[in-house]
Amino acid sequence: MKHARPKQSPSRFLPISLSEAKARGWNELDVIFVSGDAYVDHPSFGVPLLARLLESKGLRVGIIPQPDWRSKEPFMALGRPRLFFAVAAGAMDSMVAHYTPARKLRRDDAYTPGNRHGARPNRATIIYTSRLKEAYRDVPVVIGGIEASLRRFAHYDFWEDKVRRSALFDAKADLLVYGMGESPLLELVQRLQKGEAFASIRDIRGTAYPSSTAPEPDADLVELPSYEEVAADKAAYAKSFRLLSGEQNPGCAKTVIQRHAQRYLVCNPPAWPLDERALDAIYALPFVKAPHPGYKEAIPAYEQIRNSITTHRGCFGGCAFCAITHHQGKTIQSRSEQSVLQELERLAAFPWFRGSVSDLGGPTANMFGLSCGNAEAGAKCRRDSCLFPKICKNLVTDDAGSSRLLAKARRISGVKNVAVSSGVRYDLMERQPRYLRELVSHHVSGLLKVAPEHLTDRVTSVMRKPGHDCFDRFRDAFQKESAKAGKRQFIVPYFISGHPGCTLSDMVDLALMLKRWGMRVEQVQDFTPTPGTLSTCIYHTGVDPFTGEKVYVARTDREKGLQKSLLLYHVPEERKNCLAALKECGREDAAAELFGQNNRR
């Protein structure tokens, strides 16, 4: 649904042109961001959030959104910055934004006005930096965002089906900021303001830099196999991933280096998580919560999140296919209850708000306020997940704070209903009966979307997800709580097809489970090997890097298409493909059950 927006004054936004900068009395900017997304002044968009944060520290900041990369002139729209350019491809990796899992060109882009494809280039981080160096060769360029963050080491690239160099070397940037970016950027500008030379700043947490020499070997240094080694040898690639996975915890992480020809990538330990006070201050910044008034068409990504509230960041789920933990970190960084409620009050005061909050959550909604209950053990922990293969004994799973927040959110004046549309971990919710009761009774509008991704235990083990029994218990608990609330509600599950470890026979088993439960899948996500994840490492190498065991991988578009068809067995147009899949894996006996009279949901 599209909403009419009241007219906004450009002066309320950060400048995107010299005329807007001069209207503020600025003849020169300190930092200029270049983004692959349209400029939406909302905290859910990373570049505006970072830009507002620097502005709050007294810096003159501007944004060049979605510049035409075919020449250098659009990159000169705000002139030469005094300190540096900051480049981000956008909220998504540009290759993920451009291509389907079958490597076909997408026709849309939700982060662009009018949902039009083509407003950013492939490998935007590299192209943007190249144009900036062409325009201002002597101005430092800092790259960041999820594209640069997850491509900071030599990485497998699905779209070229090969291992590529670090994005820092391909972009020829001066510094790479990985993770969420607030702390590294603030420290960088503060040290530059004090007169330190950009080239001498090499010790900021959450950054990586190029070096012509390797740091002196010591106990606090980890060297990965070189780019040349991981590009030529899949065993070396798996070893590199395994070594790197142990260096994600800021409390015990070491400096990691990787040689690329005659140079080295030097990656400092991750930035420390933000505390509650720092996070509250960020979300209290004066966001207009609207697209820049220069846009005349709707921006789908904004329409989706305009009425949402972020309560926390980070995820300790450690799903094999997910990049959130690698980018936001495993530590849950939660805002205070007061901060969240105050933002709800501000949201309710907007003239376009109609009473419905589309989401109150984060990467995983029911992780709000959770933490490790053993600070000493947590500082040394090298587990990728606090939930897999079983819930850590040190994890505090108390749901008092999250359930109380939901109850208070409903009572905000002007708020009629509050949805929780972020994902939930149902294995965690087994320990959160109050949150489940609040969610089912007040925050589900008939359908609850959950993402088990698969239900065959052999596949969920590869995915680092809970299996069949856990989902069955959650399904039962959900139905009982719905009945207590006097509501007829249903679970809508989301699944991934073609994930490493999954065979056609596994998908037949999954389809049969859904049929027996009376569930129909509305959407199936094809697995896409995105940079930096465990699933991508397994897809590329064919082995689990931690055990060395071989893992089956569906590699052809045909097989991946048949896997998807099996979950859509109830769609008449998919029956031919389903029968072909059953024949191929010797499961023709399942046809009678799958294509008999469908159970009601």
- Annotated binding-site members for [4Fe-4S] cluster: 315, 319, 322
Identify the DSSP state of 573.
G
Buried b (16+ CB within 10 A) or exposed e, 337-361: bebbbbbbeebbebeebeeebbbbb
Kindly give the pairing relationship between strand 207-211 and strand 175-177.
antiparallel
Question: What count of other Cβ atoms lies within 10 Å of the Cβ of residue 111?
Answer: 23
What span, in angstroms and rounded, lies between the C-alpha atoms of 476 and 256? 46
**Is the CB of residue 498 less than 8 Å from the CB of residue 564?**
yes
What is the C-alpha to C-alpha distance for residues 126 and 105, in angstroms, rounded to an integer?
Answer: 20
For residues 132 and 175, give the distance between their C-alpha atoms in angstroms, rounded to a whole number.
14
- Sequence ranges of the binding site: 315, 319, 322
User: Looking at this protein, which amino acid is placed at residue 563?
Assistant: Q
Helix, strand or coil, per DSSP, at residue 269: coil
CA distance 287 to 266: 35
Residue 122 CA to residue 103 CA, distance in Å, equals 13
Going by the DSSP 8-state scheme, the letter that residue 533 receives in this structure is -
Distances (CA, A) of 117 to 48, 66, 349, 522: 22, 12, 34, 25
Token pair recorded at residue 422: 């972020």
Cβ–Cβ under 8 Å, residues 449 and 522: no
Contacts of 50 (CB under 8 A, 6+ apart): 33, 86, 181, 182, 185
Distance of CA 232 to the CA centre of its chain: 29
Alpha carbon 243 to chain centroid, angstroms: 22
| Cα–Cα separations (whole angstroms), residue 172 to 44, 140, 189, 224, 347 | 28, 10, 21, 21, 41
